[in-house]
């Protein structure tokens, strides 16, 4: 494989640094380099090439970035759980803000540092590997990196990890099995899906000082309770006081619903997961819950809140959101699919009036966005 020298410019949405080759036949070609930092001159080994873009592995750093720091985890670079431990947190925040601004083609209202640098994870998905290994998938591989300790795990998960590892070994789980662990206000739950695909043990994953939010390990929940507090606050600020009739789509187990019912006595919440809806009815009983999409209704909602998965909202959800009389609050974990859906909402008569990025998961390329659209 051939080598090249690259001047990196910025961090890209997938976590790689991106820059241009500076010498040779392909000088100027855009090249993506994992484990490089923005503003570096690096020597790389090209792994995949196209006429206008290439992908590479880092060989050496010829001129280090001022943003480069030493990664505290000895597994960083081999473990696929983190992408940016080698980048200082201020540069991470700037990169996430720039990623969102580029996707939405305009300035955003800021970036919220919603989690501590380390020790923020209340949930994790561990994978069983060969020979009894238990940990995270290796970078760009389906191999499992055995993880005896992880600096991203909160103190409760870190304390429970030896027992979880011992239980997984004792159960002789097959390679590839997933072990979900979730810390909450009443302890730590661990789950391996049973034959029916159910997840059983539940804990209260609510942020401090908020109504309970019971969910099993393995069901969707935000990465940590402190991060979730910042996300909930951003959503409620976007919804505003006295929102009128509210429809919430992709409501999950009721994370936002618990708070929306305190603002409105007319909240309809929907999710395609029947188990999540069953939990939502317990977590937010004042809402009217629906499995699957909420039908177009009369009167139309004043505000629609939606929190779709990474692939973005489906056509039915976007059509229902576009029926809102006043406002749409869109929570996204992928700025690119948010940008795509924003164009459709714009064609339906809505204008993007605000967007805030939240860094819920430091040391990774993940960024959450709360975007507000008004008719």
Q: SS3 helix, strand, coil % of the chain, rounded to 5?
A: 25, 30, 45
Residue that terminates a domain, selected from 159, 183, 216? 216
3-class secondary-structure state, position 81: coil
d(CA 99, CA 337): 12
Identify the CA nearest to 359 among candidates 321, 333, 327, 322: 333
Residue 194 has pLDDT above 70, yes or no: no
Give tens-digit pLDDT for 11-59.
999 999 999 999 888 999 999 999 999 999 999 999 999 999 999 999 9
Q: How large is the C-alpha radius of gyration of the chain? A: 22
- Looking at the fold, whether 137 and 29 belong to one and the same domain comes out as no
Is residue 80 a part of any domain in this protein?
A: no
- Looking at the fold, whether 98 and 241 belong to one and the same domain comes out as yes
Residue 108 has pLDDT above 70, yes or no: yes
d(CA 68, CA 284): 45
Domain extent, residue 9, equals 3-63
Count of other CB atoms within 10 angstroms of residue 51? 7
- Looking at the fold, whether 319 and 345 belong to one and the same domain comes out as yes
The two beta strands, 202-204 and 144-146, are: unpaired
- Looking at the fold, whether 296 and 363 belong to one and the same domain comes out as yes
- Looking at the fold, whether 109 and 59 belong to one and the same domain comes out as no
Is residue 330 a part of any domain in this protein?
A: yes
Judged by average pLDDT, the poorest of 60-74, 161-175, 346-360 is 161-175
- Looking at the fold, whether 212 and 151 belong to one and the same domain comes out as yes
Active-site annotation, residues: 333
d(CA 330, CA 279): 22
| Look-up of token digits 């010829």 | 62
Residue that terminates a domain, selected from 167, 184, 216? 216
Give tens-digit pLDDT for 362-371.
999 999 999 9
Is residue 322 a part of any domain in this protein?
A: yes
Tally of domains within the chain: 3
Residue 1 pLDDT: 65
Residue that terminates a domain, selected from 196, 216, 236? 216
Residue 266 has pLDDT above 60, yes or no: yes
Is residue 79 a part of any domain in this protein?
A: no
Residue 129 has pLDDT above 90, yes or no: yes
Residue 195 has pLDDT above 70, yes or no: no
Give tens-digit pLDDT for 315-346.
999 999 999 999 999 999 999 999 999 999 99
- 202-229 average pLDDT score: 94
- Looking at the fold, whether 130 and 174 belong to one and the same domain comes out as yes
- Looking at the fold, whether 101 and 133 belong to one and the same domain comes out as no
């Amino acid at each position: 494989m051939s080598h090249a020298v690259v001047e990196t410019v910025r961090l890209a949405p997938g976590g790689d640094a991106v820059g241009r080759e500076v010498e040779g036949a392909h000088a100027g070609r855009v090249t993506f380099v994992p484990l490089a930092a923005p503003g570096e001159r690096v020597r790389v080994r090209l792994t995949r090439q196209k006429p206008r873009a290439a992908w590479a592995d880092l060989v050496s750093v010829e001129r280090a970035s001022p943003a480069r720091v030493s990664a505290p985890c000895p597994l960083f670079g081999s473990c696929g759980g983190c992408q940016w431990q080698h980048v200082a947190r201020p540069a991470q925040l700037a990169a996430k803000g720039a990623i969102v601004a580029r996707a939405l083609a305009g300035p955003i209202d800021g970036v919220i540092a919603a989690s501590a640098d380390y020790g923020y994870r209340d949930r994790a998905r561990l994978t069983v590997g060969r020979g009894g290994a238990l940990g995270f998938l290796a970078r760009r591989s389906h191999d499992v990196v055995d993880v005896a300790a992880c600096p991203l795990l909160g103190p409760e998960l870190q304390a429970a990890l030896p027992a979880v590892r011992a239980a997984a070994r004792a159960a002789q789980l097959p390679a590839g099995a997933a072990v979900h662990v979730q810390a909450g206000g009443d302890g730590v739950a661990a789950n391996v899906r049973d034959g029916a695909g159910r997840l059983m043990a539940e804990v209260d994953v609510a942020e401090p000082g908020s109504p309970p939010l019971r969910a099993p390990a393995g069901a969707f929940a935000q990465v940590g309770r402190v991060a979730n507090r910042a996300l909930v606050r951003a959503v409620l600020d976007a919804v505003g006081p006295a929102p009128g009739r509210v429809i919430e789509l992709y409501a999950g187990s009721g994370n936002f619903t618990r708070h929306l019912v305190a603002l409105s006595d007319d909240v309809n919440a929907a999710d395609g997961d029947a188990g999540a809806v069953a939990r939502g009815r317990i977590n937010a009983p004042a809402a009217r819950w629906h499995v699957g999409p909420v039908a177009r209704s009369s009167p139309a909602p004043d505000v629609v809140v939606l929190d779709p998965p990474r692939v973005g909202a489906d056509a039915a959800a976007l059509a229902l959101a576009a029926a809102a009389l006043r406002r749409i609050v869109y929570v996204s974990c992928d700025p690119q699919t948010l940008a795509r859906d924003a164009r459709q909402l714009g064609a339906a008569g809505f204008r993007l009036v605000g967007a805030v990025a939240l860094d819920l998961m430091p040391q990774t390329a993940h960024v959450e966005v709360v975007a507000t659209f008004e008719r």
